[in-house]
Amino acid sequence: MAQITLENVTKTFGAVTAVDRVSLTIAEGELVALLGPSGCGKTTTLRLIAGLEIPDSGRIFIGDREVTRLPPRERDVAMVFQDYALYPHMNLMDNIGYPLKVRGVPREELRQRVQEVARRLQIGDLLDRRPSQISGGQQQRASVARAVVHEAQAFLFDEPLSNLDAKLRLEARAFLKHLQHTEGVTAAYVTHDQAEAMALADRIVVMNHGKIMQIGTPLDVYRNPQNTFVAAFIGNPPMNLLPCHLDMAQGVLVVAANQAPLDLGLLRERIRVALKDGDSLTLGVRPENITLGAEPGPAAIPGKIYVTQPLGGETLVNVEVGDQLVSVRIFTEELPPLPEQVWLTLDLARTFLYGPDGERIV
């Protein structure tokens, strides 16, 4: 296994910049998830690493070897495709053994190695079947088995679980994580499912419009979103983002939705950049960091209960603040009765402030 490094890599298709100055290092034995909305350039990044696309500029390294312009077969990476790309005219033995066959491994050794890997992935008794004769989950394993047999420097996964139903997906996720740990593989893993990224990855790369918005451990990305994009993308339900502006004279933030003043309090010390009166900012607070009460307070803004959604162990309350809906998450099984008019108290220690450009300032 080897580390993967991208240095300022850019790839355009006509007018579309699919990957925009991406720099990234995936350490040896690390699984990094590429996460982002559809069309943000995740697959293209992966294909650039695999050599299926050649970057317009920038450099790519696998181990300490520059591979920027090398064809795929000289890069020594294994890939698991979204549609698995198992060959319909070959049985699983030939499919999984294909990387060995093109390398000219003798038939007998090929059989042994395929059988060994297939047994480990629990598809050992399906080897004489064709892909159309096995289930989706088994196809997924076969596709992983083919990658494992290849014994490459790094693994690339392009949404390998998206074709599975919800239950199988959980199983396959656990299985992939286990495999990654036991084999200690370096892997780039594309997904648009944040739960999958959180569960699997050592680090998450959040992308948008071809750019990296943030790189960090799952917890880091969740706890410290660096910009409004990441804040709104990570979390379910996502972070509440309230446009507001600064009123220096009063020392308050005025929430745009209902003009409610909010005492800066704790936030004041945490602001590390110069701000002007009237700067339009965005306040970010997660649903679980808001409490609901009947009484006003300095860090509270008024709102009207819109709807409550009991979810078992917790309750999701949507509150109307001006014309904006704010979600509040309350971890009780039974919600105490609330008046229709409530006060939302923000936990200022866990509240974020984003500047006019969407970058975090608190």
Partner 1 sequence: MNRYESPLARVGIVLFTMLAASFFALPLLWLATAPFDARVNLTVHIPAELTLDNFRAVFQNSFAVRALLVNNLIIAGGAMLTVATVATLASYGLSRTRIPGRDILVYVLILFSSVVGGTAAMVPLFLLAYHLGLVDTHIGVILVMSGGLLPSAIFIMRDFVDTIPRSYEEAALVFGASPLHIFRDIAFPLVRPGVAVVAIWAFVNAWGAFLIPVVLLRSPHNMPASVALYSFYSEAGTPVHTLVAAYAFLYTIPVLVLYLIVNWRFGFRFFGGIKR
Ligand X SMILES: Nc1ncnc2c1ncn2[C@@H]1O[C@H](COP(=O)(O)OP(=O)(O)OP(=O)(O)O)[C@@H](O)[C@H]1O
- What is the contact surface with ligand X in residues (CB under 6 A)? 13, 16, 18, 36, 38-44, 192
| Burial (CB count within 10 angstroms: exposed 0-12, middle 13-18, buried 19+), residue 104 | exposed
* DSSP assignment of 45-114: HHHHHHTSS--SEEEEEETTEE-TT--GGGT-EEEE-TTTT--TTS-HHHHHHHHHHHTT--HHHHHHHH
Among residues 14, 21, 17, the alpha carbon closest in space to that of 6 is found at 21
* Interaction partner, residue 226 (ligand X, partner 1, Mg ion, none; CB < 5-8 Å by kind): none
Name the strands in the sheet holding 351-354, side by side, starting at the edge strand that comes first in the sequence.
261-263, 252-255, 240-247, 280-285, 351-354
At position 232, the amino acid (one-letter code) is A
Which range, of 62-70, 94-102, 160-168, 247-255, touches partner 1 by CB under 8 A? 94-102
- Cβ neighbours, 10 Å, residue 358: 16
**Which range of residues in 33-41, 82-90, 167-175, 290-298 is near partner 1 by CB under 8 A?**
82-90
Is 102 a binder of partner 1 (CB under 8 A)? yes
Q: Which of 44, 76, 213 is nearest to 150 (CA)?
A: 76
- Given ligand X, partner 1, Mg ion, none, residue 88, with its beta carbon under 5 to 8 Å by kind, binds partner 1
13 touches, from Mg ion, partner 1, ligand X, none (C-beta below 5 to 8 Å by class): ligand X
Phi, psi of 323 (to 5 degrees): -100, 15
Least Å from the CB of residue 26 to Mg ion = 18
The CA distance from 353 to 267, in Å, is 8
Residue from 12, 25, 28, 52 in contact with partner 1 (CB under 8 A) = 52
Q: Where are the alpha helices (DSSP H) in 244-316?
A: 266-270
CB of 99: closest distance to ligand X in angstroms? 24
Both structure tokens of 1: 């296994």
Write down the least CB distance from residue 362 to Mg ion, Å: 34
**Nearest approach, Cβ of 353 to partner 1 (angstroms)?**
45
Verify binding: residue 99, partner 1, rule CB under 8 A: yes
Which residue has the CB atom at the shortest distance from ligand X? 43
CB closer to ligand X, 39 vs 124: 39
**Minimum CB distance to ligand X, residue 346 (Å):** 33
Residue 26 vs 346, nearer CB to ligand X = 26
- State the residue for tokens 């609901």: 292
Q: Shortest gap between Cβ of 175 and ligand X (angstroms)?
A: 23
CA distance 57 to 51: 14
Does residue 44 bind Mg ion (CB under 5 A)? no
| Partner that binds at residue 16, options partner 1, ligand X, Mg ion, none, CB closer than 5 to 8 Å by kind | ligand X
Q: Which does 38 bind (CB under 5 to 8 A by kind): ligand X, Mg ion, partner 1, none?
A: ligand X
- State both tokens at 313: 């162990």
Cβ atoms 253, 246 nearer than 8 A: yes
Question: Is residue 72 close enough to count as binding partner 1 by CB under 8 A?
Answer: yes
Where do contacts with partner 1 occur on this chain (CB under 8 A)? 50-52, 71-73, 75, 77-79, 81-83, 85, 87-89, 98-99, 101-103, 146, 150, 156
